[in-house]
Every structure is written in C-alpha cells, then in structure tokens.
Amino acid sequence: METPAIPMPKDEGERAILDQLVSIRDHLLLLKRDRTKYIRSQDVMLVYDQVIEQVRQLNEIRKGAESKSENRLDKVLESCFQLLSLFFMTIGRTTEAPAAYALTSTIKRLLDHLTESGLFSAKDLDSMSHTLSTLESVLRNADSQHSPYLVELLAKRENLCKESLEELRKKLDRLAKPLREVHEKLISILRSMSLANTKAKFSVSEVQKLQAQLKDIDASRADGNFVDVEGNVLGGSDEVADLLKRCLLWSEIVLERKGTIPENFKPIYDKLVSIRNDLEKLSITQAWSLRETDLYDYQRELDKFDESRVDGNFQDEDGKLAELYVQRTLLYLIRRSYGYVYYLMISSEPVSEALLPYYNQLQTLKRCLVEVKNSGGVSSVRDLYPYSMKLNSIDNLRVDGKFVVGGDLPEGQGAVNELLAECFDLAYELRIAAEENVAQSD
C-alpha cells in the first residue's frame, strides 16, 4: 500500500533542509502521541516557526531555478504542514491560516472523488462552498505572523477547490428545478444502499425497501422521461434517468452479493470498514474524545489506499483488478471516511483541548437550562441548586477571570467565558421566574 518511491533531492542544500524537516515531523508525531499532557500553544508555535524558517531557506535555494518535479523534501514538508494544521485546530486556533491547510487537503480529496464518480448532491456542494468562503476570509485577514509563502500556498489550494466546485455546480445547474429534488433523493438512496452493503450484518429487507423507492421514481416517468404537469420533458431528464438506471443496477448487484467481498480484497475491505467505523464513532463523541491531531493517521491511511489505485481501480496483492462490485464498495468506504474527516474538522471548536472539558460541560449545562426554560421553568429556586453548584465550581477555577491550566493560559478563554456568562444569565432568569411564581402563589 505504500505510494511509489519519491526521489531524494539532488541539491545538497535541499538535502540539509530535508533532514531538518524529517526531524521536525518526527517531533510533531511524538508530540501528537503524548496523551500525558495537553498540547500547548507555545510548543506548537515554536515548531511552526522552525518549519517556516526551513521554507524560507528552501525558497532561497529554488529562487530562479526552473520548475522541478516533486521530490521527497516536498512530501515531508507537506506532512509537516498537515500536522501543524491539525495542531492549530487542537490548540483552538481554528480561525488562523495554518489551520486551513488540512481542511483544504480534505476538501480537494472530496471534490476529486465527486468529480470522478459524478455522484453528488447540492447539499454536498453547499457545505464545502460555505467552508471555502470562510477560509477565504481567514486568508484575506491573515496577519503578518504567518508566512506569506503559506498564505500564498493556501490561496492557490483554495482557488483549485473553488474551480472544481464550480465545475460540479454547473452540472447540477443543468437540471430543471423539479428534477433537483428527484436527483437529491436518488443520491440519498444510492448512499443508503452502499451503507447497508457495508454493515456487519446485511439486511435484505432494508435494501429491498430502498429498491422499492427507486421503482416508485421509475414509475413516475412518462415514456421513460421525467416530465412536468403539462407533459413537457424536463431539462436534465436524460441525466437523472441515467442516474436512476445506475441506482437500480446497483440495487440488483447489492441484493445478489449481500455484502460478500472476495477473499483477495478482504484485507483492504476490513481495514477500510475499521477506519470508517472509528471515524463514525468519533463523529458522535467528538466533543469529548477527539484530539484533532488523531485525524492525521486516518488521513494518511486513506491517502495510501486512494493513491494505490491503478487507473482509478483497486488491485489485490497479485495485481488483479477489482470487479465493479468490489470497486464501488471500496470507493464508498473511502469517500465516506473522507466525509467524516471533513465533518470532524469543520466541527472543531475554537477552544484549546486544555479548556475543552470546561467548554463541553458548559455546553451541556446550557442545553439543559434552555430545555428547562422552554418547558416552563422550575417550581422553586431549590430545583436550580444542581445547576448553580456546577456553574460556581467552574467559575471558581478562574484566576483573575481566566482559566489557568498548568501555569498556562490556553486558547479559547473568550469562548469559555462567554458560554459561562450565558449559563449564569439563564440560571438567573429561571431563578427570578421561580421567585415570582412563589410570590404570586403566596
């Protein structure tokens, strides 16, 4: 599964930089794996400055030189930026330029897969379009502490993503408005069938129900076309009809194979299912269990599988190419996993992991207090004691209005303090309402 060998740099200066970057990358990997203490902003910024210095030296060496193909130095530098980007998310600096690097990598992967398969919905594009607009604002406001080289690199990556996004959107724009809902439905059914196909226990009835929905859509056509109320063929009818045909064919194949993967592709399948399942669990519990730097290992594994394909197809250890069923199943797992990585990145809170326990507790408290308020409040002030005690215990952790962890002031002070204030305000409103109710009853 290793990617093809990347040549070493020929220039002596580049080799020296490569040695430095390999050392920096290894240090970042060790820092990532250390769960005995929180990752500190000053440690990350120190390494970031070291990488930027190596980039400055590299630019000096390559200045005026003819464009060269990538060598091992470029790959290691990419790994350093990818790791640093995830570290910036982990320490809560999610709105700074370096944090955008890993996100643009994942968006580019997703867009490449959507372009390759031609199977995507407006919802897919809307989410990535919104994220890219946010990144554009971040890059536009990138301050002087970040390398112009990095900002320029990110701007190019963002533009590439926007161009891909625009090409995909043009394909959807060809569909008449009434057909877009049908198209969205077909994509949803197709993905649901692929999900059912990769579950530990295959359910025939589940796929048959999805197949029945496809047949209902098929029956709604007139002479094989999608038409409006007046009988006119809708724009994009042929494209949606082709998608429907692909969905029906896939439903037949899935029902025939019942999730059974040939032995020669079982190792790849099992590994991809494991990655998908791990990421799915993280997407449910991410507020409490995710350290964003953990995503690096998942991304690296996914990238290796993705880049090992030959002309878009998978092959086993003997070089035998995968048949259609296996090919589509493995691609679904890769794409689904990249989707989870993307979701986990955009869900990253602007709070350091050192403050996340307080932040998450306050978010839970806020939800509870809002629920109590919406359901009519409390009957007495005593009912608020558990909430007040928890709020005060968190408030008492502050020193001069700030949360100090291990002598440090972690990122995200403003976000946690704002949430704490909101919770106190809600508790106060509920207390006043309870006191008024008691006074009126007296």
> Across residues 88-107, what is the average pLDDT?
94
**Has residue 72 got a pLDDT over 50?**
yes
**Per-residue pLDDT reduced to its tens digit, 359-383:** 999 999 999 999 999 999 988 889 9
Q: What string of DSSP letters covers 199-266?
A: SSS--HHHHHHHHHHHHHHHHT-BTTB-B-TTSPBPTTHHHHHHHHHHHHHHHHHHHHHTT---GGGH
- Tell me, what's the pLDDT at 147? 83
Worst-scoring range by mean pLDDT, 57-71, 116-130, 193-207?
57-71
What the block records as the tokens of 97 is 């330029």
Share of the chain above pLDDT 90, in %: 83
- Tell me, what's the pLDDT at 287? 67
Domains in the chain: boundaries:
1-93, 95-169, 177-260, 264-334, 356-441
**Per-residue pLDDT reduced to its tens digit, 231-240:** 899 999 999 9
- Tell me, what's the pLDDT at 1? 35
- Tell me, what's the pLDDT at 162? 96
Residue 144: how many CB atoms within 10 A of its CB?
Answer: 6
Question: What is the pLDDT of the chain when averaged over all its residues?
Answer: 92
Tell me, yes or no, if the pTM score tops 0.95. no
Q: What string of DSSP letters covers 255-319?
A: HHHTT---GGGHHHHHHHHHHHHHHHHHHHHHHHH--GGGHHHHHHHHHHHHHT-BTTB-B-TT-
- Tell me, what's the pLDDT at 270? 97
Worst-scoring range by mean pLDDT, 3-12, 162-171, 221-230, 411-420?
3-12
| Band of pLDDT at residue 5, cut at 50, 70 and 90 | low
| Band of pLDDT at residue 2, cut at 50, 70 and 90 | very low
> Across residues 413-418, what is the average pLDDT?
95
- Tell me, what's the pLDDT at 174? 93
**Has residue 3 got a pLDDT over 60?**
no
* Count of positions (residues) in the chain: 442
> Across residues 226-250, what is the average pLDDT?
94
- Tell me, what's the pLDDT at 148? 86
What the block records as the tokens of 248 is 């029906």
- Nearest partner of 267 among 328, 321, 331, 330, judged by Cα: 330
Share of the chain above pLDDT 70, in %: 97
- Tell me, what's the pLDDT at 232? 92
**Has residue 143 got a pLDDT over 70?**
no
**Per-residue pLDDT reduced to its tens digit, 151-171:** 888 999 999 999 999 999 999
| Structure-token match 């407006």, residue found | 122
